[in-house]
Structure 1
């Protein structure tokens, strides 16, 4: 059972949408904070609302709309548009609130955004844009220029560079974890495949390729439970190859195995994929027929008997090899042992009555239809 992965471009689309939603949240929070601040400012309200509410809101909204436009176009540069808008938003916030040193932390925002793309080049582009915005504000913004001397600018450049390095480290660590998860998933899938193969080998008869004795009882438990729960018809047939010991004694077990495999294939090919066929042991087979009535089950076995009788065996001199079968229909509440014994007893009756026949068990008496 594997992990389902979206194609890389679909992951980018989903994350770009989330990032743009964050942009709109920033616009909303900015408006709310400044409206609250208006109750505590000593500046004239008209001037305050123009400088701290209306202007930044328009600029931030314009930046968000640019991101929306790029998102709808879904061009190959959409990631760079998102990164550029993130830098633009950080520059607007720093420019509007230049006297608040805490707002300079916004310059790290674009680098955090670019880390999502797991691309070093985009992180370095974010660093370059953030540094340019800061230096531009330091050169042309009157308040930023006054508050940030050359030493402060160098310090900020070092901080941005350090943050970029940290982002790249985080990205690299995330990549390592991703690779580890991929490797662990591959190992898990390989283990599951091996487990499935081993389970199949344990439950499969090596000679005929049919299920074996153990698988038969496991499968029968499940089917009996379903038959009791959903009340659909179920039938069990026990089949034995007539006089097979004579074939082995006369021609050897190697020839006997060839005949056995040929008959096993004939049985399996003449039931549906909903039915279950297993080699019970030696020259004996079991067949569970699902969701057919008793007459249909009997006809299926009669057909199998006829097909087997018509098989050609060039390895032996006998004209044909025949089978005998006992059939038991499941009755609600019947114990699985009684279910099997009913079919097995019918098989013995078929043997006693001359072989090469199908006997069906009814009301504790074995009768030939």
Structure 2
């Protein structure tokens, strides 16, 4: 909406600038015509302009100044005001300045150009009879109203009507192009969304909603690369569900999947935007934390461990599962393999020491 309003304001400003330019050019042309056609002895240039042209230009300038106020303070009326001003300016140019020039009534095509810019057929439909009425009024005000004048009215009216029909064609064609562009944009957006979905599906574990093994390896590679290792210190935790084979054997694999989802949910609940959690495989998870110290990382993992241990699973007779965790703080000097081996070794230490605990190595 904001962008649309900004474009509307820009076009209103452009049209008003065109009206100022047309008025200025008309003044210059009228001055030149007056100078060339006036008798310098009986009709001095300045007196002729003061009598014939100056009042019209004062009215035109006053109208344009009023338009400046309208488009700045009453923008909802800007369209109608600009179209009305184009009609009034055309009448002034023909009636007060160029009444002796036979092709001057063609000036009534000018409102067509202004109206077409807004791409609204209703505006154009109203402008057609208004322009023809203005044409007849101008001929009526500039006698003689004879057979040649009637022929001129018919010819100019035909030109105006034909021009306005062409304007309808321009608007219709423009709408077709806009619709075609919108369909193209919608198709591109749908393709983009599909690509995003496919990309996400390729990175996510479908059961738990965490990242998958491949995504973890890619991110882990970046964090341990020589370019990033010192810039982004982190802690690696390997989490394993205790006695998971017993869960599957006792309650079935469907209940095992429920346990996996619940553990993943507890992990995800404590993740911050900079953290990274993934299902490594089977009942094993990995978490990359960006805490300021290993103590802060341990505190976060302890909250996760306790939440999992006290959350009953209905399908397991409301018994919870527990997890063992191995934690290692990356030093920036070791390889990716060594880093993971230490975290994994800490996990096995937790298992050997009784499970449902965290070991830091």
CA drift at 1:170: 0.8
Alpha carbon RMSD of aligned pairs, Å? 3.4
CA drift at 1:163: 0.5
Counterpart of 2:174 in structure 1 is: 174
Asked whether 1:25 is paired with 2:21, we answer: yes
Asked whether 1:6 is paired with 2:4, we answer: yes
Q: Give ranges in structure 2 of 5+ residues lacking alignment.
A: none
Conserved? CA contact 2:56–2:92, under 8 Å: yes
Counterpart of 1:213 in structure 2 is: 213
Query: Aligned with 1:228: secondary structure?
Result: coil
Asked whether 1:252 is paired with 2:248, we answer: no
Asked whether 1:16 is paired with 2:28, we answer: no
Counterpart of 1:126 in structure 2 is: 127
Distance in 2 between residues matched to 1:69 and 1:41, nearest whole Å: 38
Conserved? CA contact 1:234–1:329, under 8 Å: yes
Query: Aligned with 1:277: secondary structure?
Result: strand
**For residues 69 and 206 of structure 1, do their structure 2 counterparts lie closer, same or farther at Cα, with a shift above 3 Å needed?**
closer
CA drift at 1:263: 2.0
Asked whether 1:150 is paired with 2:146, we answer: no
Distance in 1 between residues matched to 2:15 and 2:71, nearest whole Å: 11
Distance in 1 between residues matched to 2:306 and 2:29, nearest whole Å: 89
Distance in 1 between residues matched to 2:216 and 2:186, nearest whole Å: 32
Counterpart of 1:115 in structure 2 is: 116
**For residues 332 and 142 of structure 1, do their structure 2 counterparts lie closer, same or farther at Cα, with a shift above 3 Å needed?**
farther
Q: Deviations over 1:255-301 (max 9, x none)?
A: 32222222222222233344221111101101111243211102222
Query: Aligned with 1:331: secondary structure?
Result: coil
Number of equivalenced pairs: 356
Distance in 2 between residues matched to 1:319 and 1:70, nearest whole Å: 73
**For residues 161 and 224 of structure 1, do their structure 2 counterparts lie closer, same or farther at Cα, with a shift above 3 Å needed?**
farther
- Which region of structure 1 is more displaced relative to structure 2, 299-308 or 48-57? 48-57
Counterpart of 1:269 in structure 2 is: 269
**For residues 66 and 265 of structure 1, do their structure 2 counterparts lie closer, same or farther at Cα, with a shift above 3 Å needed?**
closer
CA drift at 1:352: 4.3
Counterpart of 2:204 in structure 1 is: 204
Distance in 2 between residues matched to 1:161 and 1:33, nearest whole Å: 27
Q: Deviations over 1:297-343 (max 9, x none)?
A: 02222332333333434545897643222222233465444433332
- TM-score w.r.t. length of structure 1: 0.81
Q: Deviations over 1:225-255 (max 9, x none)?
A: 7993883532111111223223323443223
Conserved? CA contact 2:248–2:255, under 8 Å: yes
Q: How does 1:298-337 map to 2 (within 5 A)?
A: 298-313=298-313, 315-316=315-316, 321-332=321-332, 335-337=335-337
Distance in 2 between residues matched to 1:200 and 1:4, nearest whole Å: 32
Conserved? CA contact 1:277–1:287, under 8 Å: yes
Counterpart of 2:45 in structure 1 is: 45
**For residues 170 and 348 of structure 1, do their structure 2 counterparts lie closer, same or farther at Cα, with a shift above 3 Å needed?**
same
**For residues 297 and 176 of structure 1, do their structure 2 counterparts lie closer, same or farther at Cα, with a shift above 3 Å needed?**
same
- Which region of structure 1 is more displaced relative to structure 2, 224-233 or 51-60? 224-233
Distance in 2 between residues matched to 1:248 and 1:51, nearest whole Å: 104
Conserved? CA contact 1:86–1:109, under 8 Å: yes
Distance in 2 between residues matched to 1:80 and 1:320, nearest whole Å: 71
- TM-score w.r.t. length of structure 2: 0.83
**For residues 224 and 48 of structure 1, do their structure 2 counterparts lie closer, same or farther at Cα, with a shift above 3 Å needed?**
farther
